[in-house]
Amino acid sequence: MGFYDDRVLPHFINAAMNNKHLRDIRARVCGDLKGDVVEIGFGTGHNLPFLPAGVATVRAVEPSQRSVRLAASRMAATRAAVEVVGLDGQRLEVDDASADAVLCTWSLCTIPDPVAAVKEMRRVLRPGGTLHFAEHGRSPDTAVRRWQDRLNGLQRKIAGGCNLNRDIPAIIREGGFDIGRLETFYNQGTPKFIGYTYEGTASAG
């Protein structure tokens, strides 16, 4: 990991991913969580303030150690016990059927093999467990999609491998989930090419 990705990008993401509209989304996505949660792409812990009292533990998967350090104050303030358990969402260091829920927000865009990561999410869930997600991805609007495809290479370079144009529902379904609730919208205050959002829950198929 180079200087930019290690030293600069985590601070930028920490600031950029904490606006009012994103906090509203986080509150909805986290609202029904309970028990033991595995979070993929923990980042700087932006979801922690929105965890309900019923969440006992969070096992966090995050490749950036600097991001984890930036999360220290949020980790200290949450009721849940937080443990960092791995770096790679494609190979979770978590036992089979050991989580009540998986939480994944704005992370499937960056994981090199997102389908492998979703299959891992399914593996670690207990029967009846759910995946809670919010992701940006491929727009249904032709003009926006063209811009997403044009800008994707640049986006990957400046945003730590983030892709603008992934079909999030297709990835989740290919990973073995049935999508229950799904809301789609352009996030307010965000350019359309990066702001088309998929928010919902899914269960193991």
Domains of the chain: 3-204 (3.40.50.150)
- pLDDT digits 0-9 by tens, 13-62: 999 899 999 999 999 999 999 999 999 999 999 999 999 999 999 999 99
Chain-centre distance of CA 56, in angstroms?
Answer: 19
User: Which amino acid, residue 33?
Assistant: L
Task: Please tell me what DSSP assigns to residue 123.
Answer: H
pLDDT attached to residue 62: 96
- pLDDT digits 0-9 by tens, 105-128: 999 999 999 999 999 999 999 999
Query: Phi and psi for 29 in degrees, rounded to 5?
Result: -65, -35
Contact 61, 87 (CB under 8 A): yes
User: Which amino acid, residue 12?
Assistant: F
180 sits in which H/E element: strand 177-186
- pLDDT digits 0-9 by tens, 136-162: 999 999 999 999 999 999 999 999 999
Q: Token pair of 160, please?
A: 């730590």
